[in-house]
Amino acid sequence: MANKTLGEMISSLRKEKNMTQNDLAEKMNVTDKAVSKWERNLSCPDVNSIPKLAEILGVSVEELLNAQAKQENSKVDDIINIALIGVSLAMGICIVVTSILKQIDMNNAIIMLGIGISCLSIYLLKNNKDKG
């Protein structure tokens, strides 16, 4: 279960116990729509209900909270990746547009190119490290 998000963990544990979303919802005093949202990582169970959920699913509170932490870290990584790619693209576009308009000097072009290449390099190194 170590690499699963909270939603994936809830879904697989629920299925292992041969429960439907409605069965789990009834035990948790929520709607089946709420359980569906948890399993699709669109929302999370209320903090106060985590101990009850852990008990029903037969896992520790710590296991559920670790899955939650991994899910949040994944979102932060996605934001960082988007920012690195975005800065790289923005620098490239800026160089092209300002050179077409003949509004850029060589020093600024080299600085922007360096920033763009640095961000792209960080992105590639970060994602290559994550895979290996």
Quick: pLDDT tens for 78-126: 889 899 999 999 999 999 999 899 888 889 889 999 999 999 999 998 8
pLDDT tens track for 11-70: 999 999 999 999 999 999 999 999 999 998 888 898 899 999 999 999 999 888 887 666
pLDDT value at position 69?
64
Q: 118 in a domain, yes or no?
A: yes
Residue that the structure tokens 């852990």 belong to: 54
Residues 80 and 55 in one domain: no
Does the pTM surpass 0.75? The reply is no
Rg (CA), the chain: 23
**In the block, which residue shows the tokens 């629920």?**
14
User: Is a pLDDT exceeding 90 seen at residue 129?
Assistant: no
- 61 within 8 A of 51, measured Cβ to Cβ: yes
The verdict on 82 and 123 lying in the same domain is yes
For 55-115, strand residue ranges (E) read: none
CB 75 within 8 A of CB 83: no
In a domain, 120, yes or no: yes
Domain count, the chain: 2
At residue 1 the predicted structure's pLDDT band, cuts being 50, 70 and 90, is: very low
Enclosing H/E stretch for 78: helix 61-100
* Three-class SS state of 4: coil
CA angle 86/87/92 to nearest 5° reads 100
The range of the structural domain enclosing residue 112 comes to 75-131
